[in-house]
Amino acid sequence: MLDDADDLVVAGEATDFDTAFEEVAAQHPHVLVLDLRMPHGFSSERIKRLRMASPGTEIVVTTMHVNESFVNEALGAGAIGFVVADGADRELVEAVRRARRSLPYVSPRVRRAVA
């Protein structure tokens, strides 16, 4: 999806948190898309660690599940966006574009679930 957006460049990909951390610490991308299904599970501490390694990198979280505690933990830890994976084909590019401008994005489905 992101590769098809003319105004976005995918700088790298990682299949686990440790690799993602190394890439972010080395490249300092504008935006990181962090899938909560990534091996080793979700942790707000991981988001905080990424933010410390690269304070200018905005984090957009994706997940299959709408869970109020995940949403609150992720946003509280420093993520700027939260996208539900089943809507990612429609929402992820917009979430990344907004994050690049340091503007928050939360999927409408997530907003309804946690309201």
Tens of pLDDT, residues 43-67: 788 899 999 999 999 999 988 877 7
Q: Which option is the CATH number for 17-114: 2.30.110.10, 3.40.50.450, 3.30.450.40, 3.40.50.2300? A: 3.40.50.2300
DSSP symbols for 3-50? TT-TT-------SSHHHHHHHHHHH--SEEEEETTSTT---HHHHHHH
Report which listed range, 7-21, 32-46, 58-72, 88-102, is most confident: 88-102
> How far is residue 74's CA from residue 46's CA, in Å, rounded to a whole number?
10
Residue 76 C-alpha from the chain's centroid? 13
Q: How many CB atoms lie within 10 A of CB 76?
A: 11
Whether the predicted model's global pTM rises above the 0.75 cut: yes
Query: What integer pLDDT is reported at residue 36 of this predicted model?
Result: 79
Longest dimension (CA), the chain: 37
Domain boundaries, the chain: 17-114
> How far is residue 49's CA from residue 26's CA, in Å, rounded to a whole number?
14
For residue 71, name the pLDDT band (cuts at 50, 70, 90): confident
Query: What integer pLDDT is reported at residue 110 of this predicted model?
Result: 80
Query: What integer pLDDT is reported at residue 51 of this predicted model?
Result: 93
